[in-house]
Amino acid sequence: MLIQTRSALLLASLALLPAPAFAACAINTAPSVPDGATAAPAEMNQAQDAVKAYIVETQEYLSCLEAEAKGNFTPEITARYNEATSRMSTLAMQLNSQLRSFKSRG
């Protein structure tokens, strides 16, 4: 029982230590977008769902960066923020382009 209490106290004290910058802000790799000219309907639906989920995840990541910055956007935070925003926008444009191609097949 004493060992469990000490372990619990140790874990609690570690939780109070300052975390390294950006430790909580993480984002997965962007999903790939299939070629709309050849993709199956299920493939396009999966891609659309994956991109939507990635956009939500990216928005959460951006909010995390804003919270980490606490109003003080350093060049590093700004670069990460801009990179994520650009990646999200590019992915959405790629998906829309491939969806147009997919739908034009008739």
Q: 44-79 as b/e, with b when 16 or more CB fall inside 10 Å?
A: beebbebbeebbebbeebbeebeebbeeeeeeebee
pLDDT at 36: 96
Distance of CA 5 to the CA centre of its chain: 37
pLDDT at 23: 54
With pLDDT > 90 as the criterion, what percentage of the chain qualifies?
74
pLDDT tens per residue across span 46-85? 999 999 999 999 999 999 999 999 989 999 999 999 999 9
**Domain locations along the chain:** 20-103
Q: Answer whether residue 93 shows pLDDT above 70.
A: yes
Mean pLDDT of the region 37-54: 97
Mean pLDDT of the region 29-39: 96
Please give the Cα distance from 47 to 95 (Å, whole number): 8
Least-confidence region, from 10-14, 27-31, 36-40, 91-95: 10-14
